[in-house]
Amino acid sequence: MDYGLADLTLLEYDSGKLGIRGGRDKIPFGLYNETRDVAFTHPTILLPQGIYFDRSRSLLLSADGGSVYAEQRTEYGDFAFKFNVGMPSNDLREIRRVVLATQDAKGEFETKPAIATQLTYELNGGEYIFAVSYMDLEFDYFPATGEELRKSSTHIQPLMFSAQYNGEKFTLTGEYQYRWNNFGNFAPAGRFVTESWYIEGSYRILPQLQATVRYDTLSIDRDDRKGDGAVALGFPRNVAFAQDWVFGLRWDITPSWMLRGDYTLVHGTAWLPQADNPNVNQDTQDWDLYGLELSFKF
């Protein structure tokens, strides 16, 4: 189950409200994480993979715990604040492959309670949207008996800035993520910073027809954008970066049915799921991704 929660409004008044939630709650992060699986809420089939990793979906989607939220409407715009504390999923197959860089590890990962917080500001009923999001994730690796790998903790702290303009026919979106990483015993330098961002424009050619273009870039280590460190460790250079162009077309056939197609031109393999592509030395540096989706909502 992706989410299931109870919501209690503690205080509600003309210009805002205050409430709490408990259960398996969606993690507030960026503009799309809470609705990443709702196809009608974003313009392309895949979200920008430099930020919304589908390979790490289970870790980033929701957590078991509680949250506090507040909303305040003012003459200068609308503010919303969320603060979540919870235990993320232990389904870390992809994280295991990326962090340990091996398929032979016999030990187990265990997540720790994580926090996520977000402040959002909207102007003119959502014509302009700005958000700041922060997460603090930590999980430990416990090696199996006789295993050469040592016990280690991994600490990930992403900070993201988001902005969006929604016009009558044109939408412009951009997000920037700065992520501190500490892979403990599993990274030669221990600590490094990952940087990613994208800019996306969507134009409504007709009320039911929308075209989207996006540029997305990811550097696993912002101090080693060319992947020299990966080569030194015996990996191909392209595992350290990814830049892609996405061209998408969306057709809202009816209010309930939607058809869309995407073409993605990718340089680098930094966001390619390694659990499904375990031999990184066989990956092609420049590759294409085609997508076709038919969605129904009720």
Q: What is the mean pLDDT of residues 165-188?
A: 88
Number of Cβ atoms within 10 Å of the Cβ of 297: 10
Where is pLDDT greater, at 80 or 186? 80
Closest C-alpha to 171, from 202, 125, 207: 202
CB burial of 26-35 (b: ≥16 within 10 Å; e: otherwise) equals bbbbbbbbbe
* pLDDT of 188 over the 60 cut: no
pLDDT in tens, 213-230: 999 999 999 999 999 988
- Looking at residue 222, its pLDDT comes to 93
Distance CA 53, CA 56 (A): 5
Strand partners, 18: 11, 70
Q: Which amino acid is located at 122 in the chain?
A: E
Calculate what percentage of the chain has a pLDDT beyond 70: 93
Closest C-alpha to 70, from 123, 129, 28: 28
- Is residue 210 within 8 A of residue 247, CB to CB? The reply is no
- Is residue 281 within 8 A of residue 250, CB to CB? The reply is no
- Is residue 257 within 8 A of residue 251, CB to CB? The reply is no
- Looking at residue 224, its pLDDT comes to 92
Structural domains of the chain sorted by starting position, each given as residue range(s) with its CATH number in brackets? 4-296 (2.40.160.10)
Q: Are strands 62-74 and 16-26 parallel, antiparallel or unpaired?
A: antiparallel
Distance CA 175, CA 120 (A): 13
pLDDT in tens, 94-133: 676 666 665 566 777 788 899 999 999 999 999 999 999 9
Q: What is the pTM of this model?
A: 0.91
pLDDT in tens, 228-258: 988 988 889 999 999 999 999 999 999 999 9
Mean residue pLDDT of the chain comes to 91
Number of Cβ atoms within 10 Å of the Cβ of 139: 21
* pLDDT of 46 over the 60 cut: yes
* pLDDT of 92 over the 80 cut: no
Strand partners, 262: 248, 291
When pLDDT is cut at 50, 70 and 90, the band that residue 187 belongs to is low
Distance CA 243, CA 190 (A): 25
* pLDDT of 56 over the 90 cut: no
pLDDT in tens, 203-215: 999 999 999 999 9
- Looking at residue 136, its pLDDT comes to 96
153 DSSP 8-state letter: E
